[in-house]
């Protein structure tokens, strides 16, 4: 009776992603005979991992960006696939800068359209002409201490200026209020220049009346002095008689 083989498995290997494996040969450890040959195990192929980005160039407002999308085998780490991906330019994100309103005296500006990301000026603004003042006139009456005038005030910015001045009010010697010094001057000029039907000026008449009044006062003073003098003489004579 032939002796039985004492076998062991030899030449076995695992399959890899790219290399086939082998189940191994059943070999007799005594005589070395291969009792049972092994079988080939097919290569497993790669197991793709998650894609990763490499060589990334960021897109800007005006320029496209890009990156490499790479897939590696999660078992052996070998690169399986590489693809370049283009990233479209983001475009500008704009806002208005340097804008200002026009005033009565200063030009305004519509503002520049500027990208808030890259700072590029997309559209340049335009000048807004100054609006000019919008004046409202108010007449201010003269008082006894201040002149009157017409005051023009801007309803937008408050700027004002005065014109058409009228004189301060005055009170004449009778206590009556005259309209203005200007009115008094006009009345005085009219009196000086006017004449009556006889050819004598009103101003001359006034002077004559003033002269008559002065003469009357002078006569009254002289009469008073005469009376005082006479009384003094009479008193003196009486004293002399008594002393005798």
Q: What is the pLDDT of residue 233?
A: 63
- Is there a contact between 99 and 109 (Cβ–Cβ < 8 Å)? yes
Residue range 76-101, pLDDT digits in tens: 999 999 999 999 999 999 999 999 99
Portion of the chain with pLDDT greater than 70, in percent: 71
Distance of alpha carbon 141 from alpha carbon 151, whole angstroms: 10
Q: What is the pLDDT of residue 3?
A: 72
Length of the chain: 244
- Phi/psi for 182 (5° steps) reads -60, -40
Residue range 195-218, pLDDT digits in tens: 333 343 334 334 444 444 556 666
Distance of alpha carbon 125 from alpha carbon 114, whole angstroms: 10
Q: What is the pLDDT of residue 222?
A: 73
Full-prediction pTM beyond 0.85?
A: no
Distance of alpha carbon 15 from alpha carbon 42, whole angstroms: 6
Per DSSP (E only), the strands in 73-174 are 79-87, 94-97, 108-109, 112-115, 121-123, 127-128, 135-140, 148-154, 160-166, 170-171
Q: What is the pLDDT of residue 235?
A: 60
Q: What is the pLDDT of residue 208?
A: 40
The stretches in the chain having pLDDT less than 50 are 179-212, 244
Distances (CA, A) of 95 to 1, 45, 98, 114: 102, 55, 10, 5
* C-alpha 239, offset from chain centre: 103
């Amino acid at each position: 009776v032939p002796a039985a083989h004492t076998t062991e498995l030899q030449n076995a290997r695992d399959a890899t992603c790219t290399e086939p494996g082998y189940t191994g040969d059943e070999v007799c450890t005594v005589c070395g005979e291969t009792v049972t040959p092994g079988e080939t195990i097919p290569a497993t192929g790669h197991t793709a991992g998650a894609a990763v980005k490499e060589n990334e160039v960021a897109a800007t407002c005006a320029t496209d960006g890009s990156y490499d999308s790479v897939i590696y085998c999660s078992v052996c780490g070998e690169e399986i696939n590489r693809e370049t991906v283009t990233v479209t330019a983001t475009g500008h994100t704009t806002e208005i800068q340097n804008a200002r309103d026009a005033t009565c005296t200063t030009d305004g500006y519509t503002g520049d359209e500027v990208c808030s990301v890259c700072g590029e000026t997309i559209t340049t603004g335009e000048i807004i002409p100054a609006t000019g003042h919008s004046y409202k006139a108010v007449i201010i009456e003269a008082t006894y201490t201040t002149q009157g005038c017409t005051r023009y005030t801007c309803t937008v910015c408050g700027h004002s200026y005065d014109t058409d001045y009228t004189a301060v009010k005055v009170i004449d010697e009778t206590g009556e209020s005259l309209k203005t010094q200007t009115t008094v001057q006009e009345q005085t000029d009219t009196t000086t220049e006017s004449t009556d039907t006889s050819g004598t000026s009103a101003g001359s008449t006034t002077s004559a009346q003033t002269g008559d009044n002065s003469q009357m006062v002078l006569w009254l003073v002289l009469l008073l002095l005469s009376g005082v003098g006479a009384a003094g003489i009479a008193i003196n004579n009486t004293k002399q008689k008594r002393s005798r």
